[in-house]
Amino acid sequence: MPISAVLGSGILLALATPPAFDRLPNGEAVDGQRLVHPPSPNRQIIAFVPDRTTGRDWGLRYLREAVSDFNRELPDAVFCVGDLVQGYARDHGSVAQQREVFLNIVGSLSMPFYPTPGNHDLVSGKRDATDRSFADEYRALFGPLYYSVELELASVVILNTEDGDGRIEPGFSDAQLAWLDGELEALAKRNRPMILVMHRPLWDHKPTRWETRVQPLLVKHGVDQVIAGHYHALQALPPRDGIPFLLLGTCGGAVDQHPLAGQLQHVTFVTIDEAGAIKPFHQIAGCTLPVDWITQADQALAFQLKSARDAVTIVGAVADGLGAAASGSVEVTLHNPLDRAVEFVFSKSSAPTPWEVIDRVDGQEITRSWTSRTAFDVFNPWTTDLSTPFSLAFEPARIKLDAGESGSVKISARCAAQATPPEPPPFDIVATYSDSKERRVPVLLRQRFPLSRTVEVASDTDSALPYSIAVWNCSEYDTPERNSTLRVLSARGDAVLRLALTVPDEQLSPDAKPKDTKASLEDPLADAVRLQLGEGPDSREFLVTFTEGSLAPVVRTLTSDRSKLERSKDLGITLTHSGKDWNLAIDVLKGALPPSAELAGLPINLGVADNDLAYHTQWRWLAPKQTPARLRLNP
């Protein structure tokens, strides 16, 4: 049972989940409160829950396991570093359900829980920095956006990193920093260690001006530890002015790499003794890990290898096998961006298996007693055709590159004649290197083999072939839905072509005012279709957006100088939504074609983005961007 606040004193004894905060008459918690935690003798242990953002139920398992661990190990209190829910929606009901699930799980904790707000907890899907509705709901349900907690042997200060000039955007407002200055001065008089907790690592955010606005306060008042999250990658950072900085990973949040790359589902404990010593450590599935298990330098190796634009470059494509047997090859150029050797191993994609964690302890290689389920969690069966009709051969299947070196691998592909257009065949590249502790770190680089697609233009729907709008560039954020289907038909009257598109989607995006910026091509606010006709400087590109509240799609095209979008009447659009699918008929008028273009052999590509109630845009395409499909007219 929660213990009531001592009203007007600014002091609150917190035993509830969340604590019984001092509140305004409308029920919203008062920011800047100070909580006094029940005393513990000699030593205190506090625990932290890292980011839980994922939007998928598999992530809740890790949170439940963490709560069970806490109840067995009995830390004095449990904190978090924010992002308790997926959020980023305009539908308050869906976020309310996510919060209810979270609270039902942490509600079984047998010790106090002190929340920290993250961007996913506060930011509206409207992308409106002035929309504080989700922040107000957070304050009413969880508590203040920033406050402090007095433990017996330490003080913990929770900050709100979504407070840029008082708006819901990254940063600290002057008001919050003024409160922090005064609160640290007051807490320093307790002569106890002070721990600063926040969600975003704002020392990496230039507009925050950390070095001039924040770090001096930490040094001035003697802060002893800074803990944050947000990056989904565990790492111990170099101290600043002697103050240790620590970034936590995830506990149910989205990760896509090996734990030795800093991405793992874990919890963190911090012990504080009466002498003021602070000792953090991490734990996963019953195993404790030292704080520097993944250093910033080692995690950066994995990120650099995965994110390097030229690490994997594929040149060429092979016919898709539609109507005739296909064979050919592409060249994969590999570049090693690291300062050490990397071994690249190619293989056909197969059903996921657990990753063993091979560690080194006291110079000896050991296999941890737990495995990583990342391969299961990020595998998307809807978009990965493991039974592909293509057979792939890698020459060579294994190549080792020294630091900064490049090399190439030839991949041959063949398949028998297909009656319907096949999906792009998947293959895997595992890049392995040794980190600073001489551990072998594998980084998975999932790939799709590029196909050269020829699109048959049919005379009627019954004879039209279904072409999948597929995933050509793998992403762990892609939605678990089957691919869209495109049929291409000849047209009459003013139209020269009709595109019949079927997209599996139970929820249309809510109303969203279209933006005419070129950036909306990549990241539109609503459900969207991109149509590209032709190649080179005379090509045409269109963006079609539509929402739940209006089944009259908006058509826009890139201006001739390709600087922005403008409304267009060169496409005729008809949209219907069945509840499980939406069907879009696109009549391509002659004015939509590039100058002097002919339908026969016309390069064409079409992308589909499904945004639903939240926005994390992932595009799927008819063909690889570097190899658009070409139209073929039936005689």
Complete DSSP assignment for 408-420:
EEEEEEEE--BSS
pLDDT at 5: 38
∠10-14-15 over CA atoms, to 5°?
160
> For residues 267 and 264, what is the distance between their CA atoms, to the nearest angstrom?
10
Question: DSSP H helical segments within 1-123, as ranges?
Answer: 58-73, 92-106, 119-122
Parallel/antiparallel/unpaired status of strands 565-567 and 467-469: unpaired
Q: Which residues pair with 279 in a beta bridge?
A: 271
Spatial contact of 458 and 420, defined as CB atoms under 8 Å apart: no
Neighbours of 556 (CB within 10 A): 22
CA 132, 57, 159, 34: dihedral to nearest 10 degrees? 100
Task: Please give the backbone phi and psi of residue 129, each rounded to the nearest 5 degrees, phi first.
Answer: -65, -15
Spatial contact of 81 and 227, defined as CB atoms under 8 Å apart: yes
How buried is 318 (Cβ within 10 angstroms: 0-12 exposed, 13-18 middle, 19+ buried)? Answer: buried
Parallel/antiparallel/unpaired status of strands 147-150 and 34-36: parallel
H-helix or E-strand spanning residue 394 = strand 391-395
Spatial contact of 415 and 390, defined as CB atoms under 8 Å apart: yes
Spatial contact of 551 and 153, defined as CB atoms under 8 Å apart: no
Residue-range domains of the chain with CATH: 11-294 (3.60.21.10), 308-452 (2.60.40), 454-635 (2.60.40.1190)
Q: What token pair was written down for 39?
A: 């005393």
Residue that has been written with the tokens 């594929």 in this structure: 314
> For residues 349 and 49, what is the distance between their CA atoms, to the nearest angstrom?
34
Residue that has been written with the tokens 């063993």 in this structure: 356
pLDDT at 14: 42
What parts of the chain have a pLDDT lower than 70?
A: 1-16, 40-41, 55, 285-286, 288, 511-512, 548-551, 614-616, 635
Q: Which residues pair with 150 in a beta bridge?
A: 36, 155
> For residues 225 and 227, what is the distance between their CA atoms, to the nearest angstrom?
7
pLDDT at 1: 29
Residues contacting residue 23 through CB under 8 Å, at least 6 positions apart: 29, 30
For 40, 182, 261, 270, 274, the CA distances from 46, given in Å and listed in that order, are 11, 24, 26, 5, 14
* Residue type (1 letter), 237: L
DSSP state of 253: -
Nearest to 317 by CA among 624, 615, 635, 2: 624
pLDDT at 173: 96
pLDDT at 12: 42
pLDDT at 481: 82
Q: What token pair was written down for 493?
A: 């009257």
**How much is the pTM?**
0.82
> For residues 83 and 120, what is the distance between their CA atoms, to the nearest angstrom?
5
How long a stretch of residues is the chain? 635
> For residues 228 and 225, what is the distance between their CA atoms, to the nearest angstrom?
10
pLDDT at 512: 67
